[in-house]
Amino acid sequence: MTAVAEPGRRTVRVGRVSWVVHRRELVVVGALVAVVVEVGAFALTQGEYRIPLDKLLAAFTGTGSESVLRIVLEWRLPRVVIAVVGGIALGLSGAIFQSITRNPLGSPDIIGFNSGAFTGALIVTLVVGGNYAATVSGALIGGLATALVVYLLAWSRGVQGFRLIVIGIAISAVLNAFNDYLQLRADLNAAIAAASWSMGSLADLGWQDVVPMTIAVAVLVPLLALMSRRLGMLEFGDDIASALGIPVERTRLLLLVIGVALTATVTAVAGPIIFVALAAPQLARRLTKSAGITLVPSAAMGAALLLVSDVVAQRIIAPAALPVGAVTVTLGGIYLIALLITQAGKR
């Protein structure tokens, strides 16, 4: 193993394999991980029943009281883990779509893939009825079907990023109307539950939700890592990527499937959560000052954003709690306005 130092970065080589480590990215990722740890510890200790730090540590070592073990390990920890894993998935999904479209508005919640995944999950839950596996399958099928429709409608001798976004917004509007129709036609109790879920909520989730979600993300992340070089090449444009030997349309389609799968995995568990996939890659890019979208900082930023948003949702009107989506949609609206103003200023 050898390391070659250059200003601001370090190239690490192991045999024939090499990769570049940017020091600023390491600092940013380290800071975001610290935020996740601090906020996660706060979420585990604060609430209706406050737990001192020493009792929290005792719970993790298995020496705490039965009541503390139940509160920390069975009630609070699953929610924190889902926020972190879900944030990673959404951050990576946003990075994929913004790289594919080469547009900061290119995220699954803007393009409509979130809505498609929610439609699939809603049909399974309200119409067919089913367990967790069926709901995840419905979300995945709904997201992929939406992606296929948007992709085909956007096709014109290839897929252009702006065209993909505009068509995605139109499809999203149709799907949102259909989702409202399904909820209006459903049983009252089911409709109330679906309405809460449609805002995006991490409440009442347990280890039975954490395990399959984490497994799905753990499978998808290595697949994305294998495609990361091609993803970076797409940001230079189709012509340059093709000249470098990248099969552009096949690569774009494979990345689209991975991005939709990441989004659908989160949607099936927590409902459609907007803003995180939209903002995480761009905020990470600004902090790292990188030329393009970077995957690891985007994932870390996504985890921090979703966890912080969930803690705010739990505390802002305590003892009552808001769905996390109510917080992210507010932040998302502010961010979107700021982004549009910035883009208009550049023109």
Domains of the chain: residue spans and CATH: 2-346 (1.10.3470.10)
Could you tell me if 69 and 252 are in contact, meaning their C-beta atoms sit under 8 angstroms apart? no
Q: Starting from the edge strand earliest in sequence, which strands make up the sheet with 2-6, in order?
A: 2-6, 9-14, 17-22
Q: What is the pLDDT of residue 2?
A: 43
In the chain, what percentage of residues exceed pLDDT 90? 33
147-181, pLDDT tens digit by residue?
889 888 887 766 666 788 888 889 999 999 998 88
| pLDDT at 104 (0 to 100) | 85
Task: Look at residue 16 in the predicted model and tell me its pLDDT.
Answer: 53
Answer whether 104's CB lies under 8 Å from 339's CB. Answer: yes
Distances (CA, A) of 220 to 9, 19, 298, 347: 28, 21, 15, 37
Cα Dmax for the chain: 65
Q: Reduce the DSSP state of residue 120 to 3 states and report it.
A: helix
pLDDT value, residue 103: 84
Q: CA of 6: how far to CAs of 3, 9, 22, 47, in Å?
A: 10, 5, 9, 47
Query: In this predicted structure, what is the pLDDT of residue 3?
Result: 45
Residue 178 to residue 159: CA distance in whole angstroms: 26
Q: Which stretches of the chain drop beneath a pLDDT of 70?
A: 1-21, 129-131, 157-161, 343-347
Summarize the chain as % helix, strand, coil (round to 5).
Answer: 75, 5, 20
Q: Report the alpha-carbon distance of residue 130 to residue 122 in Å, rounded.
A: 11
The pLDDT value given to residue 11? 64
* Residues in CB range of 332: below 8 A, 6 or more apart: 109, 274, 275, 278, 279
